[in-house]
Structure 1
């Protein structure tokens, strides 16, 4: 992808074929992350907050981390380590994720018999 100068970042489902083997979700604790880079420059990052989030990207290498604050159930703030890729993705994600979420609530592909 980088030879064509196409750069991107986005979430991906965990059961996609061709993803590199990362640590199991059960081994990760909150704030842990791991990443793997393929030979063609595509990086896969897995980060666990409450659930595991997987991203595919060609922009960064996925190694840099930062601290973000999260609210606990009792109202206190906790500092959690997070890859910079996830922070940038959350900042710049557009209406695509919102549209996919809204589409999932409505089933418009029902077929009916019309005589």
Structure 2
């Protein structure tokens, strides 16, 4: 597996772990439920470990922009579907702008290593 593909696989794993961790954070009910709290901590630890692998070959700013941008979108969807947290129009526009930023980085930036 090439270094570039490994970095993106690790970044994808980091995003998935962060999303699950953030979902568990909501389910932990302010750290009053042990199971979700432990799962959250484990997911966040795994997310940062995997992100560190991506950082071996990708710039910090790019990794963090993709990690946080994709995570925000997925968490917003999970919040709406799983927790019934509605988003208003300004929130959706803002999230759309984040998606646009990630697309611009991926499509046009020479620093992503593609």
Tell me the TM-score normalised to structure 1 length: 0.27
Q: Which has the higher strand share?
A: 1
Larger Rg: 1
Return the structure number with greater relative CO, CA threshold 8 A, min gap 6: 2
Tell me the TM-score normalised to structure 2 length: 0.27
